């Protein structure tokens, strides 16, 4: 383990990530139950060698970022970034200057949306930066690259650049001052340091050290698939509406319960919560709570979807079976699927609803009640 000079990690998460097409900036998207920002910061806080961690975020996201990092017990200074990555890093460097960070300390700059950097990469960057003054994570190029006038380039001399990029603090400040003086805007810190005559060493990156830029990147990295099951029964009584899958079904009886007693949606919610090991609907919406008297179960389903999202999960697919002798349900199934899909925010083809009888056997067969079971996957 590196045990040398003062070290700081500067994590830049200034972007709004418009290429993701997501409603939140990509650093706040979840992968496997944690935000990308938290995962990235943990790569550095977990090393135990960084004396300072500075995170830059868009002004509007400062509070959310602080909450996430504090919640995860990551001691970071969270600052507003600038218009460009270069402005953001410059803000962070001035912050380090203002707080007495030593000139011969090491500063590693990391993309805030690169959450899978290996410990070995961080350590190699630290060691080489200490020895040579500048070192950047990179991997040998696997693509054949062609220069528009020079033809095919010698692949053995080509590297794909990643982060972290490490620099002696005084060198990095000098490079930024020179860039500011000349009005030069670079794509990364290495480019600025080269302008003042220092060619960074190559440290060992890994192919998995990707920068999450597009929805496909996120899909590639979404690791976990979980399965949950749910089961529910409600009694059929006179004087109640029969609601199944959010659809009111004409029948002489309805299901008895504290809420609207939508047995199918209850089984589904329990499957979703079960997959995330978050208990069941009884725990989330206690029937002792008058707030849920007569509650629309579709609203509860929307809440369950939210709770899952808060824990970094979304529904993959669901398959449900209603067990019921009467009434016949086939004609209502398309509408149930469609309503459930809309509330959860998934395509209809991921929601399956089936109905069966029990050949007049048991409590469902005699018409005393209706049962439902559900199986679903959730993806983290």
Give the nearer residue to Mg ion in terms of CB position, either 130 or 296.
Answer: 296
How far apart CA 107 and CA 110 sit, in angstroms, is 10
347: its two tokens: 């395509």
Give the nearer residue to Mg ion in terms of CB position, either 52 or 266.
Answer: 266
We find the least distance from the C-beta atom of residue 287 to Mg ion, in angstroms, to be 9
We find the least distance from the C-beta atom of residue 308 to Mg ion, in angstroms, to be 19
Give the nearer residue to Mg ion in terms of CB position, either 232 or 373.
Answer: 232
Direct distance between the N- and C-terminal alpha carbons of the chain, in angstroms, rounded to an integer: 31
How far apart CA 286 and CA 154 sit, in angstroms, is 67
Which region, left, alpha or beta, applies to residue 7 given φ > 0 means left and ψ of -120 to 50 means alpha?
beta
We find the least distance from the C-beta atom of residue 263 to Mg ion, in angstroms, to be 6
User: b/e string for 171-200 if b means 16 or more Cβ within 10 A?
Assistant: bbbbbbeebeeeeeebebbbbbbeeeebeb
Residue 362, helix vs strand vs coil: helix
Give the nearer residue to Mg ion in terms of CB position, either 8 or 268.
Answer: 268
We find the least distance from the C-beta atom of residue 234 to Mg ion, in angstroms, to be 6
We find the least distance from the C-beta atom of residue 372 to Mg ion, in angstroms, to be 9
Give the nearer residue to Mg ion in terms of CB position, either 159 or 251.
Answer: 251
CB 5 within 8 A of CB 105: yes
Interface ranges with Mg ion (CB under 5 A): 232, 266
Residue from 115, 122, 162, 19 nearest 312 by CA: 115
DSSP 377: E
Give the nearer residue to Mg ion in terms of CB position, either 8 or 263.
Answer: 263
We find the least distance from the C-beta atom of residue 259 to Mg ion, in angstroms, to be 7
Give the nearer residue to Mg ion in terms of CB position, either 201 or 232.
Answer: 232
We find the least distance from the C-beta atom of residue 341 to Mg ion, in angstroms, to be 21
Residue of this chain nearest to Mg ion (CB atom) = 266
104: its two tokens: 């011969």
DSSP 343: H
Cα dist. 124→92, 118, 157, 168, 248 in Å? Answer: 23, 10, 20, 14, 63
């Amino acid at each position: 383990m590196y045990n040398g000079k003062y070290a700081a990690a500067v994590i830049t998460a200034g972007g709004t990530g418009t290429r993701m097409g997501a409603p939140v900036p990509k650093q706040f998207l979840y992968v496997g139950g944690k935000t990308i920002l938290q995962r990235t910061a943990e790569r550095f806080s977990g090393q135990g060698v960084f004396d300072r961690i500075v995170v830059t975020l868009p002004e509007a996201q400062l509070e959310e970022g602080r909450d996430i990092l504090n919640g995860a017990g990551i001691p970071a200074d969270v600052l507003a970034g600038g218009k460009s990555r270069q402005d953001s890093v410059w803000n962070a460097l001035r912050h380090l200057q203002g707080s007495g960070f030593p000139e011969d300390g090491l500063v590693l700059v990391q993309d805030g949306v690169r959450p899978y950097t290996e410990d070995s990469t961080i350590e190699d960057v630290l060691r080489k930066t200490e020895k040579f003054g500048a070192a950047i994570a990179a991997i040998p190029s696997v693509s054949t690259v062609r220069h528009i006038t020079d033809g095919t380039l010698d692949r053995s001399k080509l590297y794909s650049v990643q982060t972290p990029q490490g620099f002696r603090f005084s060198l990095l400040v000098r490079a930024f001052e020179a860039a500011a003086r000349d009005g030069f805007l670079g794509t990364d810190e290495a480019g600025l340091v080269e302008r003042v005559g220092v060619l960074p060493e190559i440290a060992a990156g890994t192919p998995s050290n990707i920068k999450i830029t597009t929805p496909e990147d996120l899909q590639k990295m979404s690791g976990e698939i979980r399965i949950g099951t749910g089961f529910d029964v409600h009694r059929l009584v006179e004087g109640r509406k029969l609601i199944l899958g959010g659809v009111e079904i004409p029948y002489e009886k309805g299901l008895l319960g504290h809420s609207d007693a939508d047995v199918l949606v209850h089984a589904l919610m329990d499957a979703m919560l079960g997959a995330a090991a978050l208990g069941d609907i009884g725990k989330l919406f206690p029937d002792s709570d008058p707030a849920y008297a007569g509650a629309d179960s579709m609203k509860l389903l929307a809440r369950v979807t939210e709770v899952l999202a808060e824990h970094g999960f979304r529904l993959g697919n669901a398959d449900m079976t209603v067990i019921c002798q009467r009434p016949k349900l086939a004609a209502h199934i398309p509408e149930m699927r469609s309503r459930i899909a809309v509330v959860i925010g998934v395509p209809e083809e991921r929601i399956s609803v089936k109905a069966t009888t029990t050949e007049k056997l048991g409590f469902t067969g005699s018409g005393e009640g209706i049962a439902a079971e559900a199986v679903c996957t959730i993806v983290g």
